Structure 1
Amino acid sequence: MFEIFEAIRDFTETGGQVLLVIGLLIFIMWLLILERALYVFIWHKQFKNQTIAAWEARSDRSSWFAEQIRQAMISRVSLKLKGSIPVIQALVALCPLLGLMGTVTGMIEVFDVMAISGSGNARSMASGVSKATIPTMAGMVGALSGVFASTWLTRISKTEKMHIEDAMTLDHEPVAASRQQA
Structure 2
Amino acid sequence: MNLLDRLLLPFTSSATLIEAGGWVLPWIFLTALIMWTLIAERWWYFRRLFPALRAELQAQWQARGEHRSWSARQVRAMLISQAAVAMSAPLPLLRVTVPIAPLLGLLGTVTGMLEVFDGMLIHGAADARSMAFGVSHAMVATLAGLVVSVSGLYFANHFQRRVQHETELLGDLLSY
TM-score, normalized by the shorter chain, greater than 0.5: yes
RMSD across aligned positions (CA)? 0.9
Q: Which residue in the other structure is 1:128 paired with?
A: 134
Q: Does 1:20 find its partner at 2:26?
A: yes
In the aligned structure 1, how far is the partner of 2:135 from the partner of 2:57?
Answer: 56
Map 1:151-170 → 2, pairs under 5 A: 151-170=157-176
2:83 partner amino acid: V
Which residue identity lines up with residue 160 of structure 1 in the other structure? Answer: E
Once the two structures are superposed, residues 36-70 of structure 1 have per-residue CA deviations (whole angstroms, 9 ceiling, x without a partner) of 01000100000000000100110121111111110
1:4 pairs with one of 2, 7, 10: 10
Aligned partner (choices 63, 66, 73) of residue 67 of structure 1: 73
User: What displacement does 1:83 show?
Assistant: 1.9
Q: Which of 32, 41, 50 in structure 1 is aligned with 2:56?
A: 50
> How far 1:123 moved relative to its partner?
1.4
Which residue is equivalent to 1:41? 47
Counterpart of 1:143 (choices 149, 152, 168) is: 149
Q: Structure 1 residue 82: deviation in Å?
A: 0.8
Q: Give me the whole-angstrom Cα distance separating, in 2, the residues matched to 1:57 and 1:146.
A: 40
CA distance in 1, matches of 2:125, 2:154: 42
What stretches of structure 1 move > 6 A for 4+ residues in a row?
Answer: none
Q: Which letter maps to 2:109?
A: T
Instruction: Tell me which of 70, 76, 83 is aligned to 1:77.
Output: 83
Q: Which amino acid aligns with 2:96?
A: A
Q: Greater shift after overlay, 76-85 or 116-125?
A: 116-125
Partners of 1:51 and 1:73 within 8 A in 2: yes
How many residues were matched structurally?
Answer: 170
Give yes or no for the alignment of 1:107 onto 2:113.
yes
TM-score, normalised to structure 1, is 0.91
Letter in 2 for 1:61: H
Q: Deviations over 1:48-101 (max 9, x none)?
A: 000001001101211111111100000000111112011000011111111111
Query: With structure 2 as the length reference, what TM-score do the two structures score?
Result: 0.94
Structure 1 runs not aligned, ≥5 long = 171-182
1:104 shift after superposition: 0.8
Question: Following the alignment from structure 2 to structure 1, what is the Cα–Cα distance between the partners of residues 126 and 160?
Answer: 52
Aligned 8 A contact 1:36 1:83 in 2: no
Matches within 5 A, 1:166-177: 166-170=172-176
